[in-house]
Structure 1
């Protein structure tokens, strides 16, 4: 009994610590265009990130106004430019901010800075040193789109890869693909709502529900087939809408998508406590997976890549998401199968864990649907 309480308390602490956004990580979007020795650019940084870094909310009421942002334009520019350096051929390309704007992205309002840099000579290789927010948010990523004539390439800056040398001619498509594979893996691993949705659907896979009671699945093969069906349905569904949304063929309001994703987690978790669709969990995974795909698409949509680079990034990102899911399944299924006959699994993990998932997801739903902050 003591172990049961410890397990429940540990799960509760973990789940309540999850960020309420539970989906969109901190990203900035940097677009650079090189022509000869001149570099023009645009840098989109989330206002919430800038507020955390330098403080924008002058009256402390939790809401940012245009006047509050405008009064901090110089501070925003100074902070941003101190964390971005460009160079070519070993010589610096000094950056300056030429204009300030605001823009709405899929996850909120962003400060937009128009940039210009003049290099000493025509640029063949651009060295980029990126350090925005890494000191206060180790999960932050800088997503770069680099254009040179008709060629476009991308790069992703992280605390582990803050400096990159980018060739304007013959940019490595393999490097771009690999970057987005890694980004897709990371995106699913910190996409707590996606993970909890899949986990809630997989928890009963090692059990059989009969005569209003749970018992252990007779073989690993039966449990594995159930999990494969669920993950395959989820993968197929979110791949469809991820592709359609990223290519601009279909769109839904962000708040509706995020609120419905939270609702899907609630429904999947409650089904483990009061079984409603045990044999249709794969169908539920497919149906709600269509909406999860819109959530995944936000990163690529906000980057605004041209179709040539977009397809490569889309495929790489999707492959990364699937690899991340496979890793989660590989860690979960053997352990769950070994514990399937225990009361601890049925009561603490299935029932208790599902109840906690449902509670956290209900908070997410309230925050997203009503645009309020409860545990953010």
Structure 2
């Protein structure tokens, strides 16, 4: 009994974490840093950089919304270009060997990613001499958001490699030698795992479909067994995997594309319907089919993330495969935690509340997401 109570508490903690995390809608704070290393010049080795940083994060750090009306205007952003560049570049350092590479700010633009507007800061650094590796120190938002990640893409001599920076990996040496095929596969595998773990809408959609798996239909008492629950979960997860792998591949290879606003709105709608299905049966007996249909839309969402990262042309298929495998491994890790906890707590008051009240909470959050994404308006505070 004590063990089950402990598991119920662990499951409640997981549910609360998931309920709190979606405040950021699609994903937590990321920035995208591209470093293009040129050959040796007369005055040293030149590095051209582009840094895409979410305006919502910069607004939190620098209070860009000067009139406090909740909306950033181009004039407000443009008037603070110098402050943005100074803030960001003070938290980035580049080096070759033991020598620092001074950084000079360039122009700033605005771009839109799948999760909102970003400032695009361009800069140039010059290293005194070429080295075998480029040292990168990354401390952006380290004092404000310990979950923030910097997704760095390094381009040199026609080859591309990538790395993830955060408080636990704030300084890394990035090799300038052409990465091997296996290294690129592993790089994108890590990106795939990371992005499914921070894709809270994808996680809530999947968990909403899986919640009924451990509850026996009235006419099928045997469905209460772990084996039957496992088979049910396997059907849902397999259908979701096949569907999003298909559209992720087609969209990443630019065979098929949809407007990101439509995709993000449809993903929010899928979370809403999956949660409502746990309260009012819409497709409860056909959840694998629903997982496949909605999974096609989620695949376009994953492709949007991969587009932000970029795919190295020299190992495009292998890197795409690595990202997809990473997504599946991250997804399996979530299911591996969910299934035993759900099965052991399935007859408790907590699980009944999770099915009812929890599903209502998920549906409300998804409804807000849908409104925000469909009408491009801000409702949630972060």
TM-score, normalising length: structure 2:
0.88
Q: How does 1:104-119 map to 2 (within 5 A)?
A: 104-119=112-127
Match of 2:314 in 1: 308
Alpha-carbon shift at residue 156 of structure 1 (Å):
1.6
| 2:263 counterpart of 1:260 | no
Asked if the contact 1:154/1:309 (under 8 Å) is kept, the reply is: no
Alpha-carbon shift at residue 216 of structure 1 (Å):
6.9
Match of 1:361 in 2: 366
CA deviation digits over 1:276-309, x for unaligned, max 9? 3232110100100111111122222023333235
Match of 2:102 in 1: 94
Q: Describe the shift of the 1:232–1:277 C-alpha distance in structure 2 as closer, same or farther (beyond 3 A).
A: same
Greater Cα offset, 9-18 or 233-242: 9-18
Asked if the contact 1:101/1:113 (under 8 Å) is kept, the reply is: yes
- Distance (Å, rounded) in 1 between the aligned partners of 2:355 and 2:284: 13
Equivalent position to 2:81, from 70, 73, 77 = 73
Match of 2:245 in 1: 239
- Distance (Å, rounded) in 2 between the aligned partners of 1:152 and 1:11: 37
Q: Describe the shift of the 1:13–1:33 C-alpha distance in structure 2 as closer, same or farther (beyond 3 A).
A: closer
| Secondary structure, counterpart of 2:249 in structure 1 | helix
CA deviation digits over 1:113-155, x for unaligned, max 9? 2211111113432111111112212222111221112222222
CA deviation digits over 1:328-368, x for unaligned, max 9? 2112212322333x262663232332222222222222222
Match of 1:280 in 2: 286
- Distance (Å, rounded) in 2 between the aligned partners of 1:114 and 1:11: 40
Equivalent position to 2:50, from 42, 53, 61 = 42
Asked if the contact 1:15/1:356 (under 8 Å) is kept, the reply is: no
- Distance (Å, rounded) in 2 between the aligned partners of 1:93 and 1:346: 56
- Distance (Å, rounded) in 2 between the aligned partners of 1:351 and 1:63: 36
Equivalent position to 1:185, from 164, 187, 193 = 193
| 2:56 counterpart of 1:53 | no
TM-score, normalising length: structure 1:
0.89
Number of residue pairs the alignment of both structures matches: 369
Equivalent position to 2:341, from 335, 340, 350 = 335
Alpha-carbon shift at residue 240 of structure 1 (Å):
1.3
Alpha-carbon shift at residue 210 of structure 1 (Å):
3.3
Q: Describe the shift of the 1:105–1:355 C-alpha distance in structure 2 as closer, same or farther (beyond 3 A).
A: closer
Q: Describe the shift of the 1:11–1:138 C-alpha distance in structure 2 as closer, same or farther (beyond 3 A).
A: closer
Asked if the contact 2:18/2:200 (under 8 Å) is kept, the reply is: no
Alpha-carbon shift at residue 237 of structure 1 (Å):
0.9
| 2:233 counterpart of 1:227 | yes
Q: CA RMSD in A?
A: 2.5
Q: How does 1:180-219 map to 2 (within 5 A)?
A: 180-210=188-218, 217-219=223-225
Consecutive unaligned residues in structure 1, runs of 5 or more: none
Asked if the contact 2:372/2:379 (under 8 Å) is kept, the reply is: yes
| Secondary structure, counterpart of 2:22 in structure 1 | coil
| 2:35 counterpart of 1:32 | yes
Alpha-carbon shift at residue 226 of structure 1 (Å):
0.8
Alpha-carbon shift at residue 248 of structure 1 (Å):
2.3
Q: Describe the shift of the 1:156–1:12 C-alpha distance in structure 2 as closer, same or farther (beyond 3 A).
A: closer
Alpha-carbon shift at residue 13 of structure 1 (Å):
6.0
